[in-house]
Homo-oligomer: A and B are copies of this chain.
């Protein structure tokens, strides 16, 4: 049993859009990721995903069941859950540090699984 210091872990992370695993519990994983720019539109068939902003800002763009676009801006200390099936993509003007909570094995690009941004096997950090 040991503690994880988020700032310390994020200081070891430089590549964008490449989530790293920092903890696992109950079949779920805590991942840390930095990113800037626009991600690929995708959804997850059977996984809900939690995004908690640690530093910086981003917006979660998503499409409702009618296909209409929406955007939710997120700042440090704010989180949201993207339910399974909801088309989404995070977009950040500047670099942002985000904590993810999702089932072990969740693919970062979900249904867009042959994207150049797909990380098949995220590493431990």
Contact = CB atoms under 8 A, between A and B. Distances in A.
Nearest to A46: B26
Contacts of A79: 3-4, 6, 23, 30
A26 B103 contact: yes
Contact of A83 (B1, B6, B7): B1
- Please give the count of copies of this chain that the complex contains: 2
A80 B25 contact: no
A81 B25 CA distance: 7
Contacts of A50: 23, 25, 30
Interface of A: 1-7, 23-26, 28, 30, 47-50, 54, 60, 62, 70, 72, 74, 77-83, 86, 101-103
